[in-house]
Structure 1
């Protein structure tokens, strides 16, 4: 399992343990984090962030009947994408009509080279920032989540073509 709470930088999460949940889920048993995330429409990062006090770094300690928080008010991303083989951050952003900055802001566990995204990981693909509070790494395109999250309206992704452009044959 490639899920790692530690690699998600959960130590940087500033939300309190007692934050109210917008949605809850009861573990059925025999499940793993990416499976719950995909089934419930929540990113793997968000599941880990909202349950940092319950889920270990390997996500091997889920107990049948355990109640998990699926989202906090104002940061509950329900627009998700399950990573498939050969996906890249660019292809994920393009296919979900968002820009890579928004993809990165909603999924802060993704490293600066997009080298740690893995098959079956569930990513938030909301066209605006919908992520639990966290501290931005030094290589982030902005210095704090408040640089974008406090806008009067949600950020708008760059317009991207929905089909390949047609090119004239310039060889004639």
Structure 2
């Protein structure tokens, strides 16, 4: 029992010395890589750079708020393994894209596209250029 307490104390001390919480220490074991936030970074561009969805990026980094408005320069993010999109098909949003056109392009319903991309709001008015969307299996 004493050894377990010593181990826990060592892990907590290590996390304190490296400015890393125990949760972050445990989380890093599941990261495919890490990325240090730079000035001007937003979740959409980070996610697109590493071929992951914004939802996956947020899930791997519980410190990121739901609107991804709290990124801090110098913050180290956990980058999960590349896209966990079940269909394996992703689409990078371009200028002028709207959800209905993307859904039509891939022959999927708007509801299916919405369900596969929880980071996109119900009105689909928060798409960002460079954002990577998960395209569900075709409804044809």
Q: TM-score, normalised by structure 2?
A: 0.59
Whose Rg is larger? 2
Question: Which aligned segments of 4 or more residues in structure 1 are displaced greater than 4 angstroms?
Answer: 16-20
Please tell me whether the aligned partners of residues 99 and 110 of structure 2 are also in contact (alpha carbons under 8 angstroms). yes
When the two structures are aligned, how many residues end up with a matched partner? 110
Q: Which runs of 5+ in 2 are unaligned?
A: 1-22
Q: Deviations over 1:120-165 (max 9, x none)?
A: 22221242xxxxxxxxxxxxxxxxxxxxxxxxxxxxx321xxxxxx
Find the aligned partners of 2:47 and 2:131 in 1 and give their Cα distance: 8
Q: TM-score, normalised by structure 1?
A: 0.50
Structure 1 position 108 matched with structure 2 position 89: no
Give 1:44 shift.
1.7
1:61 paired to 2:66: no
1:36 offset after TM fit, Å?
A: 2.1
Equivalent residue runs for 1:5-20 within 5 Å? none
More helix by share: 2
Matched, 1:40 2:53: no
Give the gaps of 5 or more residues in structure 1: 1-15, 128-156, 160-172
Paired residue secondary structure (2:69): coil
